[in-house]
Structure 1
Amino acid sequence: MAVQPEGTPCWADATFSDVEGAENFYGDVLGWTFGEPSAEFGPCTQAYADGRAVAAVVPSVPGQEGPSQWCLYLAAEDAAATAARIRDHGGETLMDPVRVGDLGTMCLARDPGGVVFGLWQAGTHEGFQAVAVPGAYCWAEVFTREPGKADAFFPAVFPYRSKQLEDETDFRIHDLGERSVLGRMRMTEDFPPETPPYINVHFTVANCDEAVTRATDRGGVLRFGPMDTPFGRFASVGDPQGVNFSVIDVTTTAGEMPGTTEVT
């Protein structure tokens, strides 16, 4: 795939204390295969769906093990300039932009409400080699208890236009041009107070119910669903190491698309 416009989700990885366990779980649930760790990619191991790179798993740093989530990387034309905008608009950089050989430049950041995400300025590694096919990334949402902060921050840092869904949920969608690229969901009291804000990553599956069964049979926890929506049949799952994600079958849809109101 070509280098994506500024603000486009372009890569995802997660840190695991048990990388072998993560590979076994996601290999069974999403059909991933894995490359070998190499000096080129540092400590991370790339995951593949039908031979195309779709994510990476990273071992925890000894002594720093703790709760993890999938980290979504947003494309940056100039990571240093984007990092400056993050700081200018109330966010913080957890890791300043650093070159990863000739692969590209990465940065880790946090929005004013505590949501961690990454930046990726592509070099030879352009990001996802496939999206919206079984095993690949499909969609993501910022889950936050402070939606006002997130709603002001992300369109200030990235060239997003935003629209609010006209239904009972407090859900916002960020667009790049004519393409919707990122959602924002208010975290309700249904979320345990110890659950930090995070970006919920959706991976595509051929059959949502079968994917949920594989996940729970292998030690995962069903958080929500499966549920039919106009966007697809999806469910939210926690893997055996506590990392949350969603699976979605985009070919099975139900109901009419909700209306939206442009807000920026």
Structure 2
Amino acid sequence: MPARDATRFGEPCWADLVTSDPDGAREFYGRLFGWSAVRSDLAGSEYVTFRRGDADVAGMAVQMPGSQTPDAWSIYLAVEDVDATTEAARSAGGQVLSAPLTIGSMGRMSILMDPSGAPVGLWQPLDFAGFGLIGEAGTPVWHELNTLDYRAAVAFYETVFGWKPVVLSDTDEFRYSTIGAEGAMVAGIFDASAHLPVGVPSHWQLYLGVRDVRSAADLVTQLGGTVLHEPWESEFGTFARVSDRTGAMFVLGSVDQATDQSAAT
């Protein structure tokens, strides 16, 4: 895909990592994806933007002292009006985890939990639109909601964000829909009710592109991360589910094959 030069409202526009080990994360992701880390110029902020070349590809924030929340990647959906969308989400059965907040001149954000229990961020762009590059090695290539309540999740995102999901499969063995403009799907909804381990809640999952998934998975281990699901092949490419040094999970996805749809387990 080319550099991302437009914000399509309702679709993923940013991802950031909340970590308890920012120095370790800089090294891990820098060596794995070739990312550089640029500190925010907002006064008092420890936020970091990861870049591939000159393009912004992800962010990183530091866990608050005493936080009991596991380190994790978060996905943000672009919206025209974060306040109105937050209220619409509340009315549609979502919970507001973090009320709308202005981030300097960059934009406004809030954090929700959808009715199936998956947290998701909202981003109203002002000076900062989000991803500068997608669909290539070292950049986001897919975003996926793994949900324990597929029907409720689909209805929520249709109502709040105007999604028009395209059904990829609708069987008890594999139930999956995709969203995005025609010919440019960017995210999926996976019925994970029969697949997630007991105790694992609904969640959004980030896919990051690499040229060689097996080599990248080996490098994850060398860098102190963990391979959670060994590389597997599908009609959509090669994938491996991994975590970084502190347990933040993401998926490696090949960019030498089609990556506009995922292959959920």
TM-score by length of 2: 0.90
| Aligned counterpart, 1:12 | 15
Map residues 118-137 of structure 1 onto 2, 5 A cutoff.
Answer: 118-137=121-140
CA contact (8 A) 1:222 1:238 kept: yes
2:169 is the counterpart of 1:163: no
Distance 1:243 1:172 in 2: 25
CA contact (8 A) 1:233 1:253 kept: no
Query: 2:155 is matched with which residue: 152, 156, 163?
Result: 152
| Aligned counterpart, 1:34 | 37
Task: Give the Å deviation of 1:51.
Answer: 2.4
Secondary structure of the corresponding residue to residue 46 of structure 2 = coil
Task: Give the Å deviation of 1:131.
Answer: 0.5
2:222 is the counterpart of 1:211: no
CA contact (8 A) 2:42 2:104 kept: no
Query: 2:58 is matched with which residue: 55, 60, 74?
Result: 55
Map residues 1-264 of structure 1 onto 2, 5 A cutoff.
Answer: 1-39=4-42, 42-166=45-169, 168-252=173-257
CA contact (8 A) 1:207 1:249 kept: yes
Deviations 1:33-55 (A, max 9, x none): 11134326932101011221100
| Aligned counterpart, 1:261 | none
Secondary structure of the corresponding residue to residue 219 of structure 1 = coil
CA contact (8 A) 1:47 1:57 kept: yes
CA contact (8 A) 1:235 1:246 kept: yes
Secondary structure of the corresponding residue to residue 35 of structure 1 = strand
Distance 1:132 1:241 in 2: 26
Distance 1:155 1:114 in 2: 16
Q: 1:57 to 1:241 in 2, by over 3 A?
A: same
Secondary structure of the corresponding residue to residue 161 of structure 1 = coil
Q: 1:3 to 1:163 in 2, by over 3 A?
A: closer
Distance 1:150 1:131 in 2: 25
Task: Give the Å deviation of 1:163.
Answer: 2.2
Deviations 1:175-197 (A, max 9, x none): 34553222111224543323222
Deviations 1:21-44 (A, max 9, x none): 111111111221111343269321
Distance 1:40 1:170 in 2: 46
| Segments of 4+ moved more than 6 angstroms | none
Q: RMSD over aligned Cα, in angstroms?
A: 2.1
How many residues end up aligned between the 2 structures?
256
Distance 1:187 1:163 in 2: 17
CA contact (8 A) 1:231 1:250 kept: no
Q: Which runs of 5+ in 1 are unaligned?
A: 259-264
Q: Percent identity?
A: 29
Secondary structure of the corresponding residue to residue 120 of structure 1 = strand
Distance 1:2 1:107 in 2: 23
TM-score by length of 1: 0.90
Deviations 1:186-235 (A, max 9, x none): 22454332322211100111211111111011222212231222322111
